[in-house]
Structure 1
Amino acid sequence: MKHSNRRRPVQPPRSAFAGFQFPPDVIMVAVRLYLRYNLSYRDVEELLLERGVEVDHVTVFRWVQRFTPLLVDAARFCRHAPGDRWFTDETYVKVNGVWRFVYRAVDQHGQVTDVLVSARRDAVAARRFLRRAMATMKVRPAEVITDAAPVYPAVLDDLVPSAWHHVERHANNRVEADHSQLKHRLRPMRGLQTAQTAQTAQTAQTIIAGHAFMQNLRRGHYELGIDAPRGLRVAAALAELATAI
């Protein structure tokens, strides 16, 4: 049997929006509204209906869960490198009626370096968070500021022995104040909810990571939407990213 030497045409990558009933601009508006403003899924459903788009709030939830990680991943090449001073702390949120800990770090420029939702507040969780943050950002901090939690000295000595670990009263106010923005965003949701208990951790992680992404985007830590007026920067940035996914 004779084989042809002709090359097959190169197929363009399949869009993440392929197979969805609604066009990409509608999906991006819904995701942007949810991540940017203090809205519930039902609020987004109502705002879309006012604009002639009839979509169920469960569908909005699925869009947020599907496209938020894709947007964050597509934007990583446009993200500014974080500073070398990391203010690290944990806060807590309620997920399906159960309290969960959220590890967060903010650099000296106000960029949220990473977030991690954990069922426990211990050395294992702290180690996982810091290792993940350094791997994601490809940066090792020169200074880490924490509260007086006893788990940090050993974890930092192991992961970043060259970093100066700073523990001092009020030294970590920067990240503690930043926690309040997350709490303010989650308040309309009355705790993160999902019908599938097995997916609660991933659901919470996606939403909280999406909040951090939006926060960093608005603070100018990405080379996205830079030519747009300040009030339109987020919309322009997501429009750019939509073409990449």
Structure 2
Amino acid sequence: MNAPSDMPRLKGYRFPRQIIAYAVWAYHRFALSTGDVEDLLAERGVTVSRETVRKWVKRFGRHFAHCIKRDRPAAADKWHLDEVVVPINGVKIWLWRAVDANGDVLDILVQPRRNARAAKRFLKQLIARFSRPRVIITDKLRSYIKPIRQLAPDADHRAHKGLNNRIEGSYRPTRKREKLMGRFKSPGQAQRFLSAHDQINTIFRPRRYRLSAASYRHVRSDAFDLWRSYALEMTA
């Protein structure tokens, strides 16, 4: 990814914003470690430490995720909700995720519980952002029943394990990154990282099997244009 070289310099940073944007993109787009990104930059003549890459990813990953959330089109009115365990320091922590009918991740929430209170907190967060859905598909976890009745009484709630295959595939990138990072160190770290990672993957991982080669290249080009515009919005 070659961002325009005439981008204004980022105040307080030694490296141009196009290099920082490239590092954040490479880290989230591929299953790379900060050391891998360090080597990619070194091959291009940019000498930077992996710790610097880590700080860039932490600081600006949130920025890009915020921009993507801000500009994304309206979500489909059919949601898939699911939860999966993420072991952190020997403790079971639950990752709640929602995707729409197009397979785009709406939001995630890392919580220590898998009960009605946790389900209500997550659903409330989703409705505040996207309004009430027409259909909600979940597994057979009974904790969803009461919150959905309270917060989205008109929604068609379909509790069926087999209907939720769309969201099951969205966990693969998470598991890959979790393995590469040697597991998450804290719930806060998991929340910060996955909130950015899922949103960035939304624009750079379209459902390629549904697109012709020409359409895929067009979508990819649009994603790069968006990334460049978001890089211009970066601030110290």
TM tier relative to shorter chain: 0.7 to 0.9
Which residue is 1:196 aligned to?
A: none
Kept after mapping to 1: 8 A contact 2:29/2:200: yes
After TM superposition, the score normalised by the length of structure 2 is 0.83
Task: Please list every run of at least 4 consecutive aligned residues from structure 1 whose deviation after the TM superposition is greater than 6 angstroms.
Answer: none
Which residue is 1:59 aligned to?
A: 52
After TM superposition, the score normalised by the length of structure 1 is 0.81
In angstroms, what is the RMSD of aligned CA positions?
2.5
Which protein is richer in helix relative to its size?
2
Amino acid at match of 2:98: A
Q: Which moved more, 1:110-119 or 1:211-220?
A: 211-220
Query: What displacement does 1:162 show?
Result: 1.0
Which residue is 2:17 aligned to?
A: 24
Structure 2 Cα separation of the partners of residues 86 and 178 of structure 1? 13
Residue segments in structure 1 that go unaligned for 5+ positions in a row: 1-14, 194-199
Which residue is 2:193 aligned to?
A: 207
Residues 1:169 and 1:90: Cα distance change in structure 2 (over 3 Å): closer
Structure 2 Cα separation of the partners of residues 243 and 236 of structure 1? 11
Residues 1:219 and 1:50: Cα distance change in structure 2 (over 3 Å): closer
Q: Which moved more, 1:51-60 or 1:231-240?
A: 231-240
Matches within 5 A, 1:1-80: 17-80=10-73
Which residue is 1:12 aligned to?
A: none
Residues 1:219 and 1:83: Cα distance change in structure 2 (over 3 Å): farther
Which residue is 1:173 aligned to?
A: 165
Structure 1 Cα separation of the partners of residues 9 and 153 of structure 2? 41
Which residue is 2:227 aligned to?
A: 238
Structure 1 Cα separation of the partners of residues 157 and 219 of structure 2? 36
Kept after mapping to 1: 8 A contact 2:38/2:49: yes
Percent identical pairs in the alignment equals: 34
Query: What displacement does 1:97 show?
Result: 5.2
Query: Larger Cα Rg: Structure 1 or Structure 2?
Result: 1
Residue segments in structure 2 that go unaligned for 5+ positions in a row: 1-7, 208-214
Structure 2 Cα separation of the partners of residues 169 and 43 of structure 1? 38
